[in-house]
Amino acid sequence: MANLIQTNETQHSGTRPEMATNAQRFALALQRHGVKYIFGQSNPQTIMLACMDLGIRQIGFRQENAGSYMAQAYAMCSGEVPVVAAQNGPAATLLVPGLAECLKASHPVVALVDDVPTNMDDKNGFQDIDHIQLFSGVAKWVKRIVSEERIEDYIDMAFTAAASGRPGPAVLLCPKNIAYDTDLYPVRTQRKANISYYPLDRATADAARIEEAAQWLANAERPMLYVGGGAISSGALSEVRLLQEQCAIPVATTTMGKGSVDENHPLSIGPIGYYMGTRGATKFLKPMVQEADVILLVGNRTNQNGTDSWTLLPENAKYIHIDIDPMEVGRNYEALRLVGDAKLTLAALKKALGKQDLAKRFSNRASIEDTIAKARIAHLNEAQDVMTSNDSPIKIERFLAELDQKLSDDHIIVADASLSSVWLANYIKATGKRKFLFPRGIAGLGWGLPMAMGAKIAKPVQKVFCLTGDGGFAHVWSELETCKREGINVVVAVINNEILAYQKLAEQARWGRNTNACDLTPVDHVAVAEACGVKGIRVDSPDQIAAALDEAFAAEGSVIIDLIADPHNVPPIPFMGILENV
Ligand SMILES: Cc1ncc(C[n+]2csc(CCOP(=O)(O)OP(=O)(O)O)c2C)c(N)n1
Ligand SMILES: [Mg+2]
C-alpha cells in the first residue's frame, strides 16, 4: 500500500526538456504549477501516463463524482488548486455535480477532460457530447485547446480562471488528436511561474469606504460580524480573530464559516442560520443577532440557510459587506461596499479602527460576554437530556458529546449534506485548530467520504473524521476500496437510522406523511467496509461509543463506525420541531 507522505517526499524534480510530446508538455506544465496529485481514472491517457513519468501521483477514484469532491476538499485544506481528470462523454457528465458545488462554494478546481479529435467534431464520434454546453452552467471557464502551440498558455489560463477573483471551477478540454500526438514540439519555457494557489491576486477594498466602515463599527450600539466561508478561503482567520478580540465585536459564522473563530472565545456567537430551533447551539443568541445595529458580513453569500430564509438578520440594521465578488455585495442586504480580498480588507479595517475611539466597544464587552456565556449554559441545559441519553438506538447528540471529547485540537472534521451538516455545526465546537468541511455550495448527498479523503491527501499528518448519513454514504461506498488501495486513512461514522431522515422529517412536518422512498432496508455497514478490506465497528448502544472512537482514531487504516441511530432524532430546525413528541 502506497504511503502518501513518502510520495510527497519523493516528488521528482528535474530540468525541463526543450522538446517534448504534447502530453509531456501538459505534464510539465502541471509539474511547474506544483501539482502533486491528480484525481483521475487514467484519462486523458497520454497525459496521465506522462504525469506518472514525472512522479505526479494519480489518485484513482472509483467514480468521477467522488473524484471531484476529493479535489474540492484538497483545495480547502491545501490552499492549492487541485486537478481532476475525466474521459469525454459519460465520465465528463459525472464531474457536473462536483463542479457545481465548487462553483457555488467558491472553491477552485481545474478539470482536464478528454475530447474527441477535432476532425471528428459533429460526426457522432464515440462518446462525443458538447462539453462546452455541458459545463457552461457549472464552471467559471470552459475552453477547448485549439492548437498544440498553445498548450502551456491554456493550462495557465485554466489555473488563473480557477484561482483568481472568486475561485471556482475551470474546465480544459483536450482533443485527442492533440493529446495523442507523439511528435515532439518546443516546450514553452518562457512560462516559469507556479500559479496554482488561491487567492491568486489580492486587492484591498476602497480606502475611503474602509474608513467609513470603521466609523460605523466604532459608533454602533450593537455591532456584529457575520463571517462566511469566503473568509476561510482568503486565509483571513487571524484578521477576523484580531477584530473580534481587539475591537470587542461578537462574531457569528455561517456553516461554511465555522472555524473562522474559536467557539470558546467569549465573544463567539457560533454558527447561526436555519438551525436555531430547540436544542440549537445558538438558539438563545437569536435576540443578539436580531438586535444588531451594524452587521459586517465577510465572505458571506447571505444565502437562504444562512439567513433562515432571509428572516434572521434585522431589516433595519446597517450592513457592511466584504467580498471578492462585487455581485455578492448587496445581493440581499444593501451594504457599504467593500469589494476586495477579505484578509487584506480586514487588516486595513482593523488599522482604520485603531484611529477610532473604541470606548463604546470596550464598555459593552462585559455585557456581551455575559449574554453569550449565559446562552451557552442555557443551550447545554436544554440539550442535556439528549447529550447524556442512554437510549438505544443512539441519540446523535450523545454520540457527538463523546466525539467532541475525543477529537484532537487539529482534527479535520467533514460533514456529508443532510442532517450530518446540522449536527456537526451545532454539536462539535470549533476550537483550537480544528478545521471543518461542509459541502454547502449545493448541499449534495455523497460528498462526505470523498471530501474526507481529499482532506487526508492534502494533510496526511492530520486526523480526519467524517459524519455521514446512511443515505449519503450509499452514494459513495465504492470509494472505500480507493481508501484501501491508495492508503488513505479516515474515520467515518455512518448515522445508520435506516431512513432518509431529512427528507422524511421534512415531509412529515409539512404534509403529515412521507413517500415510501424515505424508508431504507437495514444495511450492515461493517460488512460493507470489510468487503473492501476496511475496518468496521458496529456501535449499537451509548456505552460502546468511547471505546469505538478510541479504537478508530488509533487504527492504522480507514475505519467505518456503523452507528445504530434513532430515526426519531429531531434536529434543531424550527419547522421540524412539531415532530418532537410524535
Ligand atoms: C444528491 C442529492 N440527492 C438528494 C438530496 C435530497 N436530500 C436531502 S437530505 C436527504 C436525506 C438524506 O438521508 P441520509 O443521508 O440517510 O441522512 P439522514 O438525514 O438520515 O441523517 C435527501 C434525499 C440531496 N440533497 N442531494
Ligand atoms: Mg439516514
448-501 pLDDT, tens digit each: 999 999 999 999 999 999 999 999 999 999 999 999 999 999 999 999 999 999
Is residue 5 over pLDDT 60? Answer: no
Residue whose Cα lies nearest atom 11 of ligand 1: it is 500
Q: Please, what is the end-to-end C-alpha distance for the chain in angstroms?
A: 50
Q: Domain locations in the chain?
A: 2-186, 207-374, 388-579
Relative to the CA of 416, which ligand 1 atom is closest? 15
Q: Please check whether the domain covering 388-579 is classified as CATH 3.40.50.970.
A: yes
Ligand 1 atom, smallest distance to 418 CA: 9
**Atom 20, ligand 1: residue with shortest CA distance:** 501
Model confidence pLDDT, tens digit, residues 378-437: 999 999 999 999 999 999 999 999 999 999 999 999 999 999 999 999 999 999 999 999
Confidence of residue 6 (pLDDT cuts 50, 70, 90): very low
Q: What's the predicted TM-score (pTM) here? A: 0.97
What is the pLDDT at residue 108?
Answer: 98
In b/e form, how buried is each residue of 453-471, taking b as 16+ CB within 10 angstroms? Answer: bbbbbbbbebbbbbbbbbb
426's grid cell: 451545532
What is the distance in A from the centroid of ligand 1 to the CA of 472?
Answer: 6
Closest CA to 440 of 462, 460, 459, 424: 424
For ligand 1, atom 4, name the residue with the nearest CA: 445
The pLDDT, as a whole number, for residue 1 is: 35
223-237 mean pLDDT? 98
Nearest to 322 by CA among 282, 295, 357, 361: 295
**Band of residue 141 on the pLDDT scale cut at 50, 70, 90:** very high
333-374 pLDDT, tens digit each: 999 999 999 999 999 999 999 999 999 999 999 999 999 999
From residue 421, alpha-carbon distances to 23, 67, 177, 413, 555 in Å are 41, 21, 45, 10, 25
Sheet containing 412-415: order of strands = 435-437, 412-415, 464-469, 491-496, 559-564, 535-539
Q: Whose CA is nearest to atom 26 of ligand 1?
A: 444
Prior bond of 199 cis (ω within 30°): yes
Which ligand 1 atom is nearest residue 497's CA? Answer: 20
Give the C-alpha distances (Å, rounded to integers) separating 530 from 311, 521, 551, 557.
Answer: 47, 19, 16, 12
CATH class of 2-186: alpha beta
The residue to mutate among 65, 498, 502, having the most atoms of ligand 1 within 8 angstroms of its beta carbon, is 502
Q: Which secondary structure element, helix H or strand E, spans residue 83, and what is its range? A: strand 83-86
Q: Does residue 231 contact residue 342 with C-beta atoms inside 8 Å?
A: yes
Q: Do domains 207-374 and 388-579 have the same CATH topology?
A: yes
Torsion angle defined by CA atoms of residues 346, 350, 355 and 360, in that order, rounded to the nearest 10 degrees: 110
Residue whose CA is at the smallest distance from ligand 1 atom 22: 503
Ligand 1 pocket by Cβ (under 6 Å)? 417-420, 443-446, 469-472, 495, 497, 499-503
* Structure-derived torsion over alpha carbons of residues 321, 327, 332, 334, reported in degrees to the nearest 10: 50
pLDDT tens column, 76-127: 999 999 999 999 999 999 999 999 999 999 999 999 999 999 999 999 999 9
Residues 6+ apart with CB under 8 A from 462: 410, 411, 412, 455, 456
Class of domain 207-374: alpha beta
- Nearest-atom index, ligand 1, CA of 495: 21
Q: Write down the residue that cell numbers 487584506 correspond to.
A: 344
